Amino acid sequence: MPIAASVKEIMNNKGSSVIRKMFEEGIALKAKYGEDNVFDFSLGNPDMAPPKEVYQAVQEVAKDENPSRHGYMPNAGYMETREAMAAKINKEQNLQGEGKLCGKNIVMTVGAAGGLTCICKAIISPGDELIVPTPFFAEYRHYCGHFGGKLVPVKSKKDFSIDVEGIKKALSEKTAAVLINSPNNPSGKIYSEEEIRELAKVLKEHGEKCGRKPYLICDEPYRAITYDGKKVASAFPLYNESMVVTSFAKNLSLPGERIGFVAVNPKAEDADELVAAIIFANRTLGYVNSPAFFQKVVAKCWDAKVDYSTYQNRCKMITKVVANAGIEFVQPEGAFYLFCKAPLPQKEENKKYILKNDDGEYCDEFAFCDHMKKYNVLCAPGSGFGCPGYYRMAFCVSEKTISGCEESLKKAKETW
C-alpha cells in the first residue's frame, strides 16, 4: 500500500530533512575516509559533557526503588518537576508578583520539539497561519503543517534582526501565533528587548483590531548559550499572550533524553484553558508524558552552573577559519551555529548556479554544499531554514575538526 501522498511529497522535497541527510552522509564519509579526514558541521549535536550535577542527580534518582517509580503519571508531568521548571522561568524572566509562574503553568514535554508540536495542535485549526521570521528552524514547517496550518515566513532585516513592520503586514485574522527563536538557529542572532517590545505592541494592536490575539511563542533551547555578555530578552513581562518552549538538550547537553517543557504566561487571558489544551495534545499525540526518569533528574539539576566558554572559543576559531577562506558570514551572538553566505562561483562551469531574487544575485547553496562535500566538508543548506543562498555550520564539534577544515574550505572556495 502507498504511503500518504502528503508525506511522500515532503520526503522527496529537496529541502526536507536536509540536516539529517547531511548527518547520515557524514557517517558514511567517515567510514570511508576516516574520522579525522571528514569535517562534519551538519548537526547541532552538543559534544560537551553534561555538568557533574546531572550525573549526581542520575545516581540519586536511580537509587529510588519505589515500585511506582517507572509508572504512569499525570500527562503534564510530576508536580515537583513542574514547580522546579516554574522556578527556572521565574528566575530567567525575573518574574514576581502576579506574573510569577507556578507548577500549573508548566507542561513537561518530549523535548522542545514535542512541546512545539503540542502547542501547534492546541492552537492551530485548519487554515490558520503561524508567522516566523527568517531564518527559522526547518522543522517548524512540519510542526505547523501536521494540523492543517500554514507557515508564513517573514524576511528578517539584513542583520537578521526582526522586521517588525514585515510581521505587521503579514498578520491577518488567520494568524494563530508568531514564533520566534532566540538565540536563533541557524543565525545565532539574539533578538533585543526593544524588538520584542515593538513586536508585542504590534500584536496587541492587531488583537484589538480583529478580535483575535495572536500568541507569541518563544523557542528558547539556546537561551543560556550567549557570547560577549549578550542577554536574551524576556517576553512574559512584555506580552501576556506568550509562551516559552524549551528543553535541556543544549544547555545541559542532553539532546537524546528528550526532556523539555512548555511554560504558559499566567497573565494570558485563557491561560488555564491553554495549558489544558497542551496537556490534551501531549496525551493524544502519543507522547502521553515526558520521560519519567529525566523529569526527576532535571528537577534536581536544572540550575547547574555550566561553563560555555568552550563554545565561545570555538566560535572565535571557526569565524577566523571561514574568514580566512574568504566566505561571508553572520557573527553569532549565541547558540553554536555559523550562518554563511554561499559564494558566487568564479569558474565558468559553475556559473549556472548563480540565481536571482529581489535582492539581486545569489548562489545556489545546495550546489555549493555538494561542492564542499568533494573536500569532505559537510554543511546544511540554508533553503531548509528559509534562507536560500546561505548554509549553516554547526560548531559544536572538536577544535581539531574546526582547525582541520581550513585548507579544505579554502580549496572548495578557490575551485568554485
Do the Cβ atoms of 116 and 140 come closer than 8 Å? yes
What's the average model confidence in pLDDT over 122-146?
97
What pLDDT is recorded for position 323?
A: 98
Q: Above pLDDT 70, what percent of the chain?
A: 95
pLDDT tens digits, one per residue of 261-277: 999 999 999 999 999 99
Q: How confident is the model at residue 299 (pLDDT cuts 50, 70, 90)?
A: very high
Q: Which grid cell sits at 223? A: 537561551
What pLDDT is recorded for position 27?
A: 74
What's the average model confidence in pLDDT over 14-22?
61
Residues of the chain with CATH 3.40.640.10: 72-301
DSSP designation for 382? G
What pLDDT is recorded for position 359?
A: 86
What's the average model confidence in pLDDT over 15-28?
65
What pTM was estimated for this model as a whole?
0.94
What pLDDT is recorded for position 394?
A: 97
What pLDDT is recorded for position 21?
A: 67
**What phi and psi, each to the nearest 5 degrees, are found at residue 217?**
-100, 120
What pLDDT is recorded for position 390?
A: 98
What pLDDT is recorded for position 237?
A: 96
Q: Which of 44, 42, 43 is nearest to 372 (CA)?
A: 42
378: helix, strand or coil: strand
What pLDDT is recorded for position 98?
A: 85
| pLDDT above 60: residue 15 | no
What's the average model confidence in pLDDT over 335-349?
97
Q: Which grid cell sits at 355? A: 540565481
Q: Above pLDDT 90, what percent of the chain?
A: 87
Residues of the chain with CATH 3.90.1150.10: 5-50+307-414
Q: How confident is the model at residue 179 (pLDDT cuts 50, 70, 90)?
A: very high
What pLDDT is recorded for position 25?
A: 72
Q: How confident is the model at residue 138 (pLDDT cuts 50, 70, 90)?
A: very high
What's the average model confidence in pLDDT over 100-124?
98
Concatenate the DSSP letters of all residues of 111-174 into one string.
HHHHHHHHHHHHHPPTT-EEEEESS--TTHHHHHHTTT-EEEEEPPPTTS---HHHHHHH--TT
Q: Which CATH number fits domain 72-301: 3.40.50.300, 3.30.479.30, 3.40.640.10, 3.40.50.720?
A: 3.40.640.10
- Give the domain 5-50+307-414 fold: Aspartate Aminotransferase, domain 1 (3.90.1150)
| pLDDT above 80: residue 16 | no
pLDDT tens digits, one per residue of 60-95: 999 998 888 889 999 999 999 999 999 999 999 999
287: helix, strand or coil: coil
Amino acid 267 reads K
355: helix, strand or coil: strand
What's the average model confidence in pLDDT over 25-37?
73
Could you list the beta-strand ranges (E) of 265-336: 329-330
Omega before 255 cis (within 30°)? Answer: no
